[in-house]
């Protein structure tokens, strides 16, 4: 069976619904260009190819995004989640707060059972408008793949200085219980499952006191060769360790580890 391959960039502002291990039938929302990834991280496990250059005038207008989402919801209102993800870091869009307000209104009108989800690396938690927008999001997930700077650099390859201190400062500013964390554990070309890396990560999670943590691993193709899923047993042990510190945790292993062999 062939190894999973990276997936193409999202070619529209709304895509799906697609099946999600964590969120059921998820309607994706892309606030970034159709032709390249725009992100402050270049994670080793990313499913999208890195592309050079920064967006210049090709970000979608809020009205374009909302029109695409409205059309998708009218066509299929039975999705479980409306998920801000797309081709990179969604909070980089300068009108992120305006889009979130519009999405919340569309959800309430057309798909009231759907959760509004954000998948973010926390790049703009220092922006007041981004923090205010989080009040409208049901499940604001922020990436925390490491509790020490060296491991974070190895796994997430941030393009900003002091990425981990900035992220932790932003999360602490939100306050305990006001956000969720997602952590991607991998082995092979990079490894954040070692005992020292895990100890630092667990200590950081306990100090942040999030509303919950999703412990995950790769289940799709990666652009960097040699990135492997963390074994199910390791993930389940991590989930137990998080719960032992008083934080709810869900564990989402790779559905077919043999495909990455």
Cβ-Cβ contacts under 8 Å for 80 (sequence gap 6 or more) = 17, 20, 23, 24, 25, 26, 113, 114, 115
Res 55: pLDDT: 46
Res 1: pLDDT: 64
pTM, two decimals, is 0.94
Measured at the CA of 161, the angle between CA 228 and CA 45, to 5 degrees, comes to 15
Res 50: pLDDT: 58
Query: Which residues of the chain carry a pLDDT beneath 50?
Result: 54-56
Res 4: pLDDT: 81
The per-residue pLDDT for range 24-51, each reduced to its tens digit, is 999 999 999 988 899 999 999 999 865 5
Give the DSSP per-residue string, 20-49. Answer: ETTTEEEEEE--S-SSS-B-SB--TT-SS-
């Amino acid at each position: 069976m062939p190894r999973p391959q990276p997936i193409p960039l999202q070619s529209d502002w709304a895509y799906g619904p697609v099946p999600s291990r964590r969120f059921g039938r998820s309607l994706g929302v892309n606030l970034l260009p159709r032709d390249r990834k725009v992100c402050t991280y270049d994670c080793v496990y990313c499913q999208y190819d890195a592309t050079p250059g920064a967006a210049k005038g090709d970000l979608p207008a809020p009205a374009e995004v909302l029109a695409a989402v409205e059309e998708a919801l009218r066509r299929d209102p039975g999705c479980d989640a409306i998920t801000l993800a797309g081709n990179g870091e969604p909070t980089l869009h300068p009108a992120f707060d305006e889009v979130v307000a519009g999405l919340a209104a569309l959800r309430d009108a057309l798909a009231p059972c759907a959760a509004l989800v954000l998948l973010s690396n926390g790049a703009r938690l220092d922006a007041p408008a981004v923090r205010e927008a989080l009040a409208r999001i049901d499940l604001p997930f922020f990436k925390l793949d490491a509790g020490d700077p060296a491991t974070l650099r190895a796994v997430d390859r941030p393009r900003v200085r002091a990425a981990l201190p900035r992220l932790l400062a932003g999360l602490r500013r939100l306050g305990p219980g006001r956000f969720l964390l997602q952590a991607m554990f991998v082995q092979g070309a990079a490894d954040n499952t070692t005992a020292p890396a895990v100890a630092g990560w667990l200590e950081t999670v306990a100090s942040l006191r999030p509303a919950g943590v999703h412990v995950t691993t790769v289940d799709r193709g990666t652009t960097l060769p040699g990135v492997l899923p963390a074994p199910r047993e390791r993930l389940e042990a991590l989930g137990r360790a998080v719960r032992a510190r008083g934080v709810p945790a869900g564990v989402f292993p790779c559905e077919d580890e043999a495909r990455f062999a």
